Amino acid sequence: MARRIGEHAGRRVARLAGKIGGARYVEPYRIPWSRVRRMEVDIEVDLDARDTPLGNWQRWLREHIVERIPGSR
């Protein structure tokens, strides 16, 4: 998503993701067109985010960062 802000932001976030999560998080996750259900203002896909690398990334952030913030539970 940082690439939408700008090329520089995209590179910085990709570099950070690679350092934290490894090389598999550097490239964007691509959803196959066969999994797209509807495209309007919102895009619906036939996919559970928890089963994607993004879900793994969010889980890691929650367990290692967010849960350590006082009052986050």
Q: What would the pLDDT profile of 11-69 be if each residue is shown by its tens digit? A: 888 888 778 777 766 677 788 899 999 988 888 989 888 888 778 778 888 888 888 89
For the chain, the maximum distance between any two Cα atoms, rounded to a whole number of angstroms, is 42
pTM of the model: 0.46
What pLDDT, on the 0 to 100 scale, is given for residue 1?
A: 67
Three-state SS annotation for 20-38: HHCHHHCCCCCCCHHHEEE
Alpha helices by DSSP H, listed for the chain, are 2-5, 7-21, 53-64
Q: What would the pLDDT profile of 43-58 be if each residue is shown by its tens digit? A: 898 988 888 877 877 8
What pLDDT, on the 0 to 100 scale, is given for residue 34?
A: 92
Distance between first and last Cα of the chain: 27
